[in-house]
Chain A
Amino acid sequence: MKELICIVCPKGCHLKVDENDNYSVTGNDCPRGAEYGKKELTAPTRMITSTVKVRGGLYSRCPVKTAAPIPKGLIFEAMKLLDNVELQAPVRVGDVVVEDICGTGIAFIAARNL
């Protein structure tokens, strides 16, 4: 039995995951908690948010995020991909900034209009 704090939403449910019972989860308030509990112990993933350089906008950085959670082990490799990105305003929310993060097929996308 492993105890986890769910990070799916800000509520932070206290989960109990039974590794010996097909990772069954208790203590979750919603189905997403059950999914998280199992995934966290088998193949943990995280959303990554950061910023990239942008020219011609109101600010010099544009926020970006992964379009979906990526494997936890790829976080720092993914961050490196952003170092040399330079956008030109106008940027629209959802614009693809990096197409494929380390072969995952998941993109970094812009998170605001600028």
Chain B
Amino acid sequence: MSNYDKHYEVVVVGGGPAGLAAAYSACQNGAKKVLIIERDREVGGILNQCVHNGFGLHYFKEELTGPEYAGRFADMVKGTCADILVDTMVLEITPDKIVKCASQQHGYLAIKADAVVLCMGCRERTRGAIEIPGDRSAGVLTAGTAQRYVNMEGYMPGKKVVILGSGDIGLIMARRMTLEGAKVLAVVELSPYSNGLNRNIVQCLNDYDIPLYLSHTITNIVGKTRVEKVVISEVDGFTPIPGTEIEFECDTVLLSVGLIPENEISIRAGVTIDPRTRGAVVYENMQTSMEGVFASGNVVHVHDLVDFVTGESIRAGAAAAEFALGKRIGGRVIDVVTKPGVNYTVPQKIRPDNIEKSVDIFFRTNKVRGNSIIRVTSDGAKVAEFKREHMAPGEMEKITIPKVLLDRCGDSIEIVVEDA
């Protein structure tokens, strides 16, 4: 299945859900030569290990498991012009868009691209990234690694488990380990609220009576060779409170403590990175600061739902195809400025000339909120207002601003979230 040429109109780096959708869309939008480069043995990315269901409700209008969602997109891409290189790692993208890679089958490759879409996704933060104190015992692994072991490779990582972090992967793995016969003693969350979807608290923790310790963190891991015991403490902000320690005898610690967009290639290529998202700064069509280089999916910002990754990647793939076929976009640029209550936005820059009817702006708020108002202003004047009954950092927000309103804005728009 690994065929390749020396020149492509669109090269997509990564064959996960973002890459598959971007390649599919590039083909649908007129590109005749499209290549997906994937480092794993097959396309589909992390979806292949996400055997739970809940994917595809927006895009396919039905509820699928991860492998089913990936399989459908892989089949859709098979019906297009796109070539796929698997077992191939992109090492570097040069300023003139030579994509250098190392392939299991073909050795070193240098492929010329007219346009590139960066779809490398993200990776998990590790124990080292959050500096958990204690012994360096075996049995401490990220939730996603455990997920791959259990769901694809057929290994059970442990029997008595404490999970740190209540992001969706942590919650999903709490249920998965329980179903496979492990005892999950606790899910421990530093924040006073969970960072996972509410439905996952209900169907992964409550259904199985797994306790969730909010405002707690792991303050010690004990074990000479294998993990034997974990100590958790209540926290005041980020500071453990002495005297609140609880001990759990366990053999495994799973970490679900955040994801980092995987942008080493982007940074080396010279793409501007937004320190808030740790992904590329993008325009309304998902182009990065490098002309002809686009980015979409979790490599831009971490999404909750793969359907939104697909939507974003379809726009990125279409824009990459248009660029490869000669379309250039000019006109003025509006900067999207985040104000209190808004952690980041995607896109960060909007060119009104490239907007047909409206632009969708995605963002996350900074805390759990009840009735709230999202205000969009420009030069101090109101542009738009949106009401929400409930907002949380774990739930990505979307607002849609019509072109007619954008055309009236100055060189920046500000977005703020306030209590109603």
A residues neighboring B (CB under 8 Å): 4-10, 12, 14, 46-51, 53, 58-61, 63, 65, 72, 75-76, 79, 93, 111-113
Contact size range, B = 20 to 34
- What distance in Å separates the Cβ of B398 from its nearest Cβ neighbour in chain A? 12
Could you tell me if B71 and A9 are in contact, using CB atoms closer than 8 angstroms?
no
B199's closest neighbor in chain A, by CB? Answer: A7
Cα distance, A29 to B67, chains bound together (Å)? 28
- A93 and B71 in contact, given A10-B54, A49-B52, A61-B151 (Cβ under 8 angstroms): yes
Could you tell me if B199 and A12 are in contact, using CB atoms closer than 8 angstroms?
yes
Could you tell me if A50 and B179 are in contact, using CB atoms closer than 8 angstroms?
yes
Whether a CB of chain A sits under 8 angstroms from the CB of B2 is no
Could you tell me if A12 and B198 are in contact, using CB atoms closer than 8 angstroms?
yes
Query: Residue B150 contacts which of A14, A51, A79, A93 (CB distance < 8 angstroms)?
Result: A51
Q: Mark B138-159, 1 if CB is under 8 A from A, else 0.
A: 0000000000001111100000
- A5 and B71 in contact, given A10-B54, A49-B65 (Cβ under 8 angstroms): no
Choose, from B18-26, B200-208, B399-407, the stretch at the interface. Answer: B200-208
Cα distance, A103 to B198, chains bound together (Å)? 32
**Chain B neighbourhood of A79, CB < 8 A:** 179-180
Whether a CB of chain A sits under 8 angstroms from the CB of B76 is no
- What distance in Å separates the Cβ of A72 from its nearest Cβ neighbour in chain B? 7
Cα distance, A5 to B48, chains bound together (Å)? 28
With most chain B CB atoms within 10 A of its CB, the pick from A6, A9, A14 is: A9
Could you tell me if A65 and B41 are in contact, using CB atoms closer than 8 angstroms?
no
Query: Residue B197 contacts which of A12, A47, A58, A65 (CB distance < 8 angstroms)?
Result: A12
Could you tell me if B203 and A7 are in contact, using CB atoms closer than 8 angstroms?
yes
With most chain B CB atoms within 10 A of its CB, the pick from A6, A7, A47 is: A7
Cα distance, A93 to B70, chains bound together (Å)? 12
Whether a CB of chain A sits under 8 angstroms from the CB of B51 is yes
- A7 and B390 in contact, given A63-B65, A93-B68, A112-B68 (Cβ under 8 angstroms): no
**Chain B neighbourhood of A51, CB < 8 A:** 51, 150-152, 154
11 pairs, A vs B, C-beta closer than 8 Å: A8-B199, A9-B199, A12-B395, A46-B207, A48-B179, A49-B52, A51-B151, A60-B153, A65-B51, A65-B65, A112-B65
